[in-house]
Chains A and B, each alone.
Chain A
Amino acid sequence: MTQQKSFQTELIKGLWRENPVFVAVLGLCPALAVTNSLANGLAMGLATLAVLVGSSCLVSGLRHFIPKPVRISVFILIIATFVTAVDYVLAATLPDIHKELGAFISLIVVNCLILGRQESFASKNPMWLSIADAAGMGGGFTLALVMIGGVREVLGSGSILGFPLFSDDFVPWVVMVMPPGGFFTMGLLLLIMAFVTENRRRKT
């Protein structure tokens, strides 16, 4: 596969075809842990997106100056800087969401999705392609977290973005907002993804 890399293809691939959560199965810890509501999933996704774009941009810009033997340490330093900055900005602007996400903001540092994109893409490609790649992957991650969070909130709390959806006699499936619910939803969405992909492959 030696097709010409373009801004659009790099941007779009992360959203679906190479979706970090559903296809690459990366970054599962935050994808399962903080997605008990749509708003939390969205906030976590956007925080990760911001860190990813910032780190990819910087790593790509510095890629000729980073000596190979210490590249991972430098990547981690850059990522940790952006994570801490996002942590402060979130605490200053959205204290409630920040409190809800708690320790998981700092744990973005060890999200393998981010380090993975630096090592496999940003350190080898020009800046504008790296930004497209990061935005696409971050967007795909956000999309996945919103989907998982949405399903869990509707079933587990009977609401969407805090607005009640059903009448009062709806009994929420509390298990869906607890950790097992994350795995159930993840498995369900992976199944649907596999089903769609398989169907598409058969048709062609």
Chain B
Amino acid sequence: MSAADHPWKLIGALVVTAVGSGFLLALVFNWTAPAIEAHRQEAMRRAVLNVVDQAETFEAVVWVEGAWEVVPLDYNGGTRLCYRGLDSTQTVVGYAFAAQGPGFMDTIKLIYGFNPSSRTVTGMEVLDSRETPGLGDKIAKDHAFLQSFKKLSIDPRIIAAAKPSSANEVDAISGATISSEAVVSIVNQDLQWVRDRFEEPHP
């Protein structure tokens, strides 16, 4: 080992590079974070209006002590943030819930609309996924699959089927069965929480 390759020099070189990288990334992160957050909120806004049938505007709500309470859109108070769609006469037309769960590759984040009076899912949009490109990532764009989430009955539970025949069945994507089923199971899981909120209180 030559003098130039003394271990301290090697460690020093790595530490200096790592610290420099960290510093640079902190700068870039600070600089881009506001724009990324704005894009995220805009995507969320479009998603809510897309999954809640007939919604013109929406408001953010949280479930507090047995009732929905309107909160500011940038609410960050620990209670689960949900969205409520309103039509042009300010009547509530449905709710939207963001949910996430394990997919084939990584966590799938999605949002779905729910109409409590007809007990149906009114739409679903994938917000973020890392599913296999060309196969699993179709859950975000496959027309038939997304279409089958409109007017989808939640009773007794949602099922992914190759050839949907009843009101609670989703058109599973061929070649992306696991990802399709993952989406369905995320929605089913989340509906357990949602159901309780809209169940008539037992006497």
Contact = CB atoms under 8 A, between A and B. Distances in A.
Interface of A: 33-34, 36, 65-70, 73-74, 77-78, 80-81, 84-85, 88-89, 91-93, 95, 102-104, 177-179
Contact of A84 (B9, B17, B25, B39): B25
A66 B57 CA distance: 57
B194 interface: no
B41 to A, nearest CB: 11
Contact of A33 (B10, B24, B39, B133): B133
Interface in B161-185: none
A74 B16 CA distance: 10
Given A67-B4, A92-B35, A102 B130 contact: yes
B6 to A, nearest CB: 9
B39 A77 contact: no
Contact of A80 (B4, B21, B29, B32): B21
B24 A81 contact: yes
Nearest to B28: A85
B22 to A, nearest CB: 8
A167 B4 CA distance: 68
Contact of B32 (A36, A91, A178): A91
A179 B134 contact: yes
B24 A85 contact: yes
Main secondary structure of the interface of A (DSSP, over half): helix
Contacts of B17: 74, 77-78
Contacts of A68: 5
Contacts of B133: 33-34, 102, 104, 179
Contact of A77 (B5, B9, B21, B137): B21
B28 A89 contact: yes
Contact of B10 (A70, A80, A85, A104): A70
Contacts of B10: 67, 69-70
Contacts of A177: 134
B32 A95 contact: no
Q: Name the residue in A34, A77, A178 with the highest tally of chain B Cβ atoms < 10 Å from its Cβ.
A: A77
A34 B13 CA distance: 35
A102 B25 CA distance: 19
B18 interface: yes
B36 interface: yes
B13 A178 contact: no
Contacts of A103: 130
B14 interface: yes
Q: Name the residue in A68, A78, A88 with the highest tally of chain B Cβ atoms < 10 Å from its Cβ.
A: A88
A33 B137 CA distance: 13
Interface in B88-135: 130, 133-134
B73 interface: no
Nearest to B18: A77
B144 interface: no
Contacts of A65: 13
A163 B17 CA distance: 45
Contacts of B24: 81, 85
13 contacts: A66-B13, A67-B5, A68-B5, A77-B18, A81-B24, A84-B25, A88-B36, A89-B28, A91-B36, A92-B32, A92-B39, A102-B130, A178-B134
